[in-house]
Amino acid sequence: MIVPVILSGGSGSRLWPLSRESYPKQLIRMLSDDDSMIQQTWRRIAAVETIAPPLIICNEQHRFIVAEQMQQCGAEQRTVVLEPCARNTAPAIAAAAMIAIRNGKNPTLLVLPADHMIGRVEEFHSRIELAYQLASKGRLVTFGIVADRPETGYGYIKGGGSLSDGGLELEHFVEKPSLEHARTLVSSGDYFWNSGMFMFQASQLLQELKRYQPELIDAVTASVDGAREDLDFIRLEQKGFSAAPDLSIDYGLMEHTKKGAVVPADIRWSDVGAWDSLADLQPADAAGNGGVGDRLLVDCHNTYIHADSRLVAAVGIDNLIVVETDDAVLVADRSRAQSVKELVSLLKQQQRREAQQHRTVYRPWGKYEEIDTSERFQVKHIRVNPGARLSLQMHHHRAEHWIVVQGTAKVTCGERQYLVSENESTYIPLGEQHCLENPGKIPLDLIEVQSGSYLGEDDIVRLDDIYGRIDMNPTEGASD
């Protein structure tokens, strides 16, 4: 059987302001009205006969969203592994291999980033079959995308001589090239785009990593041995994992191994890495303009506009990317789309909230949306899913008023428990232990008005939580 390893640890910073650390591009419905990118990743391989339930690697912050989305698309037998910190793809894949071996004899792993687009799915399935044959004979296989244009945003792989079982020898990797160098690589016919997708037997991968990256294997082994189950998740031990070198699987292993192979794949692939890539994947009018949402354009050319929450009108602009969300607007030259990452770095340096999260924030119990904020008050719209419950908590610096606008709330305030129905309200004094629950069958919507001397999201003491977040960073579970 083939165990898909879906890597969902990225932040998609080049697609800011739509993609943010708390809700990155793989969790967003970017190219489909129905499925997020991680859901599409699973659906496109789920029908392959030899595919087993997926093993997903993600960070703690996204764990409940990932679990919910995978359940929605039918991956109910999934394994979700939590990275305690970011350490690139080599440690993550090594941990997945160790866990997969623990769950089975020696599975073949199909490593897939959670945020890619593939247009020719049946052809991709045939490439998987070829890669599986090569991996079964001890090869470490990478999928090389047949390049149809010079592209400076991708790395490249050079294929060598043909293998008897199909595919090519893997000669070497090339970093993201200049445009002139990219033209040379593509015209040679020997180079492929590096897709970041791989296939290998779990034991063969670990054996090669032990040979070329023994320090990494020792650190990840300690982390997996110290891992613990947390609800439906496997939480890797932090000290061991953080000691692993920050290496990609490409440069940590595939550039060194003598067992590498390339399977050429002409599958209409994109990593949707920046706004220009996303624009190229969507229809455009006769003037080259495209986009989504409520847009009005006059005398514009080659412009992509994403309108998320309101009308965006443009006159006489050319070759621009315009992205509007409810709390930020991006305007960029289309040729500079890759540089959006630099803008996000600047936002982080300034400690701007917009780098981290949207106004709508998702939690395992539902979500909340920031409506208004000032020095001594903050207003939120909170939605609690049926049967869900926020943690039992208290605050040192703020009091809260809750006004129910839909559904029924079960409120714990100190020693009291009581129901609050539609058009009713309740008050939570500063320092009082409290909890909010939805005992009904429909979503619970309420308006929360916070007031006090300090309204930061780290003013929370969580006393009890059905989602196992007592030991988490306070800001990770704030407002719940």
| DSSP notation for 339-378 | GHHHHHHHHHHTT-GGGT--SEEEETTEEEEEEEE-SSEE
Query: With 60 as the cut, is the pLDDT of residue 130 above it?
Result: yes
Is the pLDDT at 474 greater than 50? The verdict is no
Q: In terms of Cα–Cα distance, which of 367, 372, 390, 352 is closest to 450?
A: 372
- Give the residue-averaged pLDDT of 153-171: 90
Whether residue 387 has pLDDT greater than 60: yes
- pTM exceeds cut of 0.85: yes
Over residues 372-397, mean pLDDT: 94
pLDDT of residue 457: 75
For residues 443-466, one letter each, b for 16 or more C-beta atoms within 10 angstroms of the residue's C-beta and e for the rest, the string is: ebbbebbbebeebeeebbebeebe
Residue 117's DSSP bridge partners are 270
CB 213 within 8 A of CB 247: yes
Which amino acid appears at position 398 of this protein? R
Q: What pLDDT score was predicted for residue 477?
A: 42
Domains and CATH numbers, the chain: 2-270 (3.90.550.10), 275-344 (no CATH), 360-477 (2.60.120.10)
How high is the pLDDT of residue 104?
A: 66
Of 31-35, 92-96, 389-393, 403-407, the poorest mean pLDDT is in 31-35
Q: Is the per-residue pLDDT at 141 higher than 90?
A: yes
Length of the chain (residues): 480
